């Protein structure tokens, strides 16, 4: 049970904070007020469009990171496509709703890591098992947090860049557009933790001709790296 001394302490703390209240009230709104959401199923799209148009502006949200990953009907690499995922028209509708609401849409795709969850392996490694960083290990994904693909495989970037380009194009190309490549949890399979970010960047091709890819700032999450084009 609270004692008299406890209430005195609480009161003194409250009084000490009072001078800060006007400063907080007068502080300008943060330049970025973002929200991270999983991409909706196509049947839930109308509800999400309404949420974007009505709720986000009301709450002052101006950036929406939409985690799509492989839940998309890819056409450049149909073997990786999710028939029950979003279509290009669905993503364009989301982008249009965001534009109407004054919200910057940033689609997210998991790269390197997060290629599996529990016993379910994502479509990239299901259809291209040759890209697996640990082929033949961890049956049923037991004993590993999540699978990763190997960026040193000579064909992996041909596939991955097609996925990036298609998703980025559907979300709206342009110099102000963005694409988040989420790569956390990959270091479990990389012995040198200190150079993991450099290891990935050194392994990637040095150039990529796609206008959609070069128009965007690509963020590398785990290595804390970013680059333009």
Instruction: Enumerate the β-bridge partners of residue 218.
Output: 179, 227
Q: What is the pLDDT of residue 216?
A: 38
Residue range 146-160: mean pLDDT, rounded: 92
Q: What is the pLDDT of residue 162?
A: 94
Residue range 3-19: mean pLDDT, rounded: 44
Q: How confident is the model at residue 77 (pLDDT cuts 50, 70, 90)?
A: very high
How far are the Cα atoms of 24, 45, 73, 142, 170 from residue 89, in angstroms, in the given order? 42, 11, 10, 37, 8
Q: How confident is the model at residue 29 (pLDDT cuts 50, 70, 90)?
A: low
pTM score of the predicted model: 0.70
Contact 152, 190 (CB under 8 A): no
Quote the CA–CA distance of 213 and 91 in Å, as a whole number.
17
Share of the chain above pLDDT 70, in %: 62
- What mean pLDDT is reported for the chain? 75
Q: At residue 109, what are phi and psi to the nearest 5 degrees?
A: -135, 135
What residues does each domain of the chain span?
A: 33-228
Does residue 92 register a pLDDT over 60?
yes
Q: Which fold has domain 33-228?
A: TIM Barrel (3.20.20)
Q: How confident is the model at residue 196 (pLDDT cuts 50, 70, 90)?
A: very low
Q: Give 34-75 pLDDT, tens digit per residue.
A: 999 999 999 999 999 999 999 999 999 999 999 999 999 999
Q: What is the pLDDT of residue 194?
A: 39
């Amino acid at each position: 049970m609270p004692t008299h001394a406890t209430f005195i302490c609480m009161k003194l703390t409250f009084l000490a904070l009072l001078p800060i209240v006007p400063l907080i009230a007068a502080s300008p709104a943060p330049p970025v007020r973002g929200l991270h959401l999983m991409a909706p199923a196509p049947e839930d799209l109308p509800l999400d469009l309404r949420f974007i148009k009505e709720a986000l502006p009301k709450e002052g949200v101006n950036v929406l990171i939409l985690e799509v990953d492989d839940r998309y009907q890819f056409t450049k690499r149909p073997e990786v496509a999710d028939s029950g995922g979003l279509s290009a028209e669905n993503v364009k509708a989301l982008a249009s709703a965001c534009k109407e609401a004054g919200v910057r849409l940033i689609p997210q795709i998991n790269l390197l890591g997060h290629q599996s969850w529990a016993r379910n392996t994502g479509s990239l490694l299901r259809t291209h098992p040759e890209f697996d960083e640990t082929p033949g290990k961890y049956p049923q994904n037991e004993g590993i947090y999540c699978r990763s693909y190997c960026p040193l495989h000579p064909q992996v970037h041909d596939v991955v860049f097609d996925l990036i380009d298609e998703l980025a194009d559907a979300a709206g190309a342009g110099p102000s557009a963005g694409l988040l490549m989420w790569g956390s949890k990959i270091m479990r399979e990389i012995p040198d933790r200190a150079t993991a970010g450099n290891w990935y960047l050194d392994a990637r091709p040095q150039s990529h001709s796609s206008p959609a890819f070069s128009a965007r700032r690509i963020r590398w999450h785990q290595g804390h790296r970013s680059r333009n084009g």
